[in-house]
Structure formats: structure tokens, C-alpha cells
């Protein structure tokens, strides 16, 4: 079975934005490394990761939430397998339960929520003496966020690897989840 990586990111980033292009590269690099990818299945960076992975011959899963986003027309055209979820929490849970690790790209409150749930899952696994799935956050905003949350809430910030590029993020996944 092909290991899968969950990739979180903004839904409104246009195709001509540098973050979109980086997300395409992320999807391609993950597929080339032998990973399937799972995203929220819609537009923006989710679409970009899906495009990159599909173009590189990878399997793309889109975990959509039709009841939460009734105005969205469905999964982006690069999704090979759509899995509808009944709620935002079910969507995040599905993506994390079926993935060997997760990467957070640029985003807003939705991406932050996904990053926090992935971090919390890693925290609980570590507390129970288990192996925590790798969690990677790309960009300076997430590095600052993880540092602040780790310090202010006295939690283990080292469970989130903060990097500057998608290339670094995929390298972490290859070494920790591959």
C-alpha cells in the first residue's frame, strides 16, 4: 500500500501566485518520492498539490465536505479518489488517520486548525509512548506560530518541524514517514 501524506493549505490562492507554484512542486515531489497525497480536495493550494501529484503520476485523494461547503462544485479535477466527510472535524480526522504524516502550507484559520489537530495527534501519541507521525509546517508564519504556542501553552513544539521550503518539507517526510 502506498503511504499517503496529508497536505493542508489555503483554498483561495490563485494559480499565478508563488505559493500555488510551490504547492504544485510539493505535490510533484511527494509523488516522485512514492507518496500518495490527501488534501481537502477543493481549490487553491489543495488544487495545486493535487495537480503536481497527478502530473507526476501520484495518487490524489480529496477529502471534501459537501454539507459544509455546498457552494463548491466538488473536488478539483486532479483528484482521483473523492471521500466526502460529514463535517470539518471528520474531514481532518479522515486525512490524518489515513496518512503517514502531514504538511501545512500557507493558509488561514482552516489550515491552522488542521495543523493544530495534527500536532495534537502527535502530542497524544508521544504521551502514550507511541511513534508520533511527522508534522511539518512550511513558512515563517507557522514557525512563529508554533514557537508561540509551544511556549505559551507549555507544549512540545519540537513535534512540529518548521521549514522554509516545500523541498525541505518533502525531505522530512521521506526521512520520517517513508
Q: pLDDT tens digit string along 120-154?
A: 999 999 998 889 999 999 999 999 999 999 999 99
Place of cell 508520533: 132
Q: What is the CATH number of the domain that holds 120?
A: 3.40.50.450
pLDDT at 173: 98
Helix (H, G, I), strand (E, B) or coil at 136: strand
The crossing angle, in degrees rounded to 10, of helices 166-176 and 18-32 is 20
Burial string for 74-95 (b: 16+ CB within 10 Å, else e) reads: ebbebbeeebbbeebeebbebb
Task: Report the C-alpha dihedral over residues 110, 162, 156, 145, rounded to 10 degrees.
Answer: -50
Q: Render pLDDT for 74-87 as a digit per residue (tens, 0 to 9).
A: 899 999 999 999 99
Average pLDDT on 106-120 reads 97
Question: What does the alpha-carbon distance between residue 166 and residue 48 come to, in Å, rounded to a whole number?
Answer: 13
Q: Which domain holds residue 161?
A: 4-176
Q: How far is CA 130 from the centre of its chain?
A: 21
Instruction: For residue range 46-72, list pLDDT tens digits in order.
Output: 999 999 999 999 999 999 998 888 888
- 73: confidence class by pLDDT, cuts 50, 70, 90: confident
Structural domain count, the chain: 1
**pTM metric for this prediction:** 0.97
Sequence length of the chain is 178
Other residues' Cβ atoms within 10 Å of the Cβ of residue 178: 15
Write down the H helix ranges in 33-98: 45-55, 88-97
SS3 82: strand
Amino acid at each position: 500500500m502506498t503511504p499517503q501524506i496529508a497536505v493542508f493549505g489555503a483554498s483561495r490562492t490563485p494559480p499565478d501566485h508563488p505559493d500555488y507554484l510551490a504547492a504544485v512542486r510539493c505535490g510533484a515531489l511527494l509523488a516522485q518520492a512514492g507518496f500518495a497525497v490527501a488534501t481537502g480536495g477543493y481549490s487553491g493550494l489543495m488544487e495545486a498539490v493535487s495537480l503536481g501529484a497527478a502530473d507526476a503520476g501520484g495518487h490524489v485523494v480529496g477529502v471534501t465536505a459537501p454539507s459544509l461547503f455546498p457552494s463548491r462544485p466538488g473536488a478539483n479535477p486532479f483528484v482521483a479518489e473523492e471521500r466526502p466527510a460529514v463535517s470539518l472535524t471528520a474531514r481532518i480526522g479522515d486525512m490524518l488517520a489515513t496518512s503517514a504524516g502531514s504538511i501545512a502550507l500557507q493558509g488561514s484559520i482552516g489550515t491552522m486548525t488542521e495543523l493544530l489537530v495534527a500536532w495534537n495527534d502527535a502530542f497524544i501519541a508521544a504521551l502514550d509512548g507511541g511513534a508520533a507521525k511527522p508534522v511539518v509546517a512550511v513558512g515563517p508564519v507557522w514557525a512563529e506560530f508554533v514557537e508561540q504556542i509551544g511556549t505559551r501553552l507549555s507544549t512540545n513544539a519540537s513535534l512540529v518541524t518548521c521549514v522554509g521550503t516545500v523541498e525541505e518539507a518533502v525531505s522530512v517526510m521521506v526521512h520520517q514517514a517513508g
